[in-house]
Every structure is written in C-alpha cells, then in structure tokens.
C-alpha cells in the first residue's frame, strides 16, 4: 500500500489509462474522480462498484482505493486538501463551500457514484470539460477560472451528498432541513446540543413544529436520524480505523461498550467485533 501527499491547496489531473497502478492507495487529501469514458471496477475499502462514463466518486483521506480497468479509461482527478477547505471557509466565497465538513461527514466510505441528482450529471460533465480545456489551453486567468469551477463542482457534490441521506430528501427539499442535518452532524459528539429544545432554539422553530417538519421532510424523526447517523459513523470507524470498541463508544457518548454492542447488534444482527472481522478481511 502506498501513501500519497498533496502539496497544493488543490490540483487537477487527467489521465488516460489502460491499467491502474497495482498498489492500493491511501491519500492525505480528498479526491473527486470522474470517469470521462471507459469501464471497470472501483475498489474502495474492500467494496466493489462497476464504473462507467459519467460516474463521479469521492475518496476521503485514509480510504483505501484502486481501480480495475476493463476498457481503456480517461479519468479526471480533482484533489483538494484541508487547507483548501479552511481557506474557502475563511474567505466566505460560497455558502455551501463554507460547510465543507458536510461533505466529509457524509461520505459513506462505500463504493458508488455520488451523483444522485439527475440534472447535475450533465452539469458536472460540462464543468469538468471546461476545466480540461482551460488546463490544456492555458489562456490568461485560466487558473482563476479553474478555481471558480472547482468551487462550483464541490458545491454540486455537497448537494448530491445531502440528497442521498434521509429517505425522503428530494431535490426540492428546503434549505432549513439541510441546515438541521448539518447541525446534527456537526454536533454528533455533543449530546447536549442534539436535544430537541436546543435544536428548536438554534433554528428559531417552535418545538412542536420542529418534529413534524423534520419527519415530513426526511421520513425520519429527529431521534431516528441521530441514531442512524451514529450507526453509520460506527460502521465507518470499524471499517476504516483501528479504534477499539470502547473508544468508539466513549467518543459517541454511549454509556459503555456493552450499550454500543446492544444497539449495534439490533441494527446489524452482529456485534461490532463480528462486523469488523467480516468486512475488514
């Protein structure tokens, strides 16, 4: 396995490959990989997905990934670092880029194209084609134009990640519920901030209306969503870290390891150790 580092805030790269490097890779940055053309299999954290033209993948730091190329494939790589995220948040360039952690916290660590919104597929194709042309021609201001398009791509990615979470989230879902989801994810390790009255106060929504509104918009109650999100985090930590079960329980504010085991078994039919052994082989 090889580690790969990024020394710029972001970089773009286009490669036409008949064979992907044999070594699996871990990155210290975030990577969006778009398939311009070609077919094959993506392998990420021992999960496989058949890729084709128009697929867009998000690879987060420490994900282990590789590709098996079946037909010659043209890949577009967009890599960006934590520094890039922080700088965009500091400069307040774009509302969604301000919430880059939203992307990171919602990455599923599983294979699959992240473009769930149909109208975004041709948009992403057009944006990436523009970047490829700008980088090839290198006319005046090409780097600045590329940076603006990169911001737009990340915004579109954030929208698609938001759309695939709770089962009732749709393309027309109101901004407020997306803000509530982000608030929950941001405070998932702080249970006091996740109480209904605290969320109600934070968003200036009446307590009675909050529960009904959230259920209608997402198909889940607040507590169901919080519980399900915690379970997704547990699965990700089991699959992609060497944290002990008691450390995960402590981080996510379970009373003890036994409590976590009980909740996890109810959800998956196995305890965390069994889950890790089964899916980390």
Average pLDDT value for the chain: 81
The most confident of 4-8, 159-163, 264-268, by mean pLDDT: 264-268
| Rounded alpha-carbon distances, angstroms, from residue 181 to 49, 85, 105, 109, 165 | 27, 20, 11, 19, 9
220-234: per-residue pLDDT in tens?
A: 899 998 998 888 788
The CB density around residue 227, as the number of other CB atoms within 10 Å, is 14
SS3 at position 207 = helix
Domains of the chain, first to last: 2-163 (2.60.120.280), 175-279 (1.10.10.60)
**Cα dist from 97 to 6, 42, 86, 90, 101, whole Å:** 20, 27, 9, 10, 9
pLDDT digits (tens, 9 = 90+) for 111-157: 578 887 778 999 999 999 999 999 999 999 999 999 999 988 988 88
16, β-bridge pairs:
74
Q: DSSP label at 64?
A: -
205: its two tokens: 């929504």
For the entire predicted model, the pTM comes to 0.60
């Amino acid at each position: 396995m090889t580690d790969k580092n990024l020394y710029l805030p972001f970089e773009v790269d286009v490669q036409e490959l008949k064979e992907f490097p044999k070594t699996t890779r871990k990155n210290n940055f975030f990577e969006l990989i778009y398939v311009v053309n070609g077919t094959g299999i993506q392998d990420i954290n021992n999960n496989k997905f058949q890729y084709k033209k128009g697929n867009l993948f998000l690879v987060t730091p420490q994900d282990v990934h590789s590709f098996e190329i079946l037909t010659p494939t043209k890949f577009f790589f967009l890599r960006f670092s934590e520094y890039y995220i922080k700088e965009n948040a500091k400069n307040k360039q774009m509302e969604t880029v301000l919430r880059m952690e939203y992307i990171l916290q919602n990455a599923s660590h599983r294979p699959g194209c992240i473009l769930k919104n149909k109208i975004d597929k041709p948009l992403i194709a057009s944006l990436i084609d523009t970047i490829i042309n700008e980088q090839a021609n290198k006319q005046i201001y090409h780097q600045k134009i590329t940076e603006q398009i990169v911001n737009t791509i990340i915004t579109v990615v954030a929208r698609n990640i938001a759309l695939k979470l709770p089962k009732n989230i749709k393309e027309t879902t109101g901004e407020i519920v997306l803000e509530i989801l982000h608030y929950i994810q941001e405070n998932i390790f702080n249970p006091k901030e996740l109480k209904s009255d605290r969320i109600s106060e934070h968003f200036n929504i009446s307590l009675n209306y909050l529960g009904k509104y959230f259920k209608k918009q997402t198909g889940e109650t607040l507590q169901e969503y919080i519980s399900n999100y915690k379970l997704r985090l547990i699965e990700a930590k089991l699959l992609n870290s060497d944290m002990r079960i008691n450390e995960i329980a402590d981080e996510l504010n379970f009373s003890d390891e036994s409590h976590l085991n009980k909740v996890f078994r109810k959800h998956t039919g196995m305890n965390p150790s069994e889950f890790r052994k089964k899916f980390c082989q």
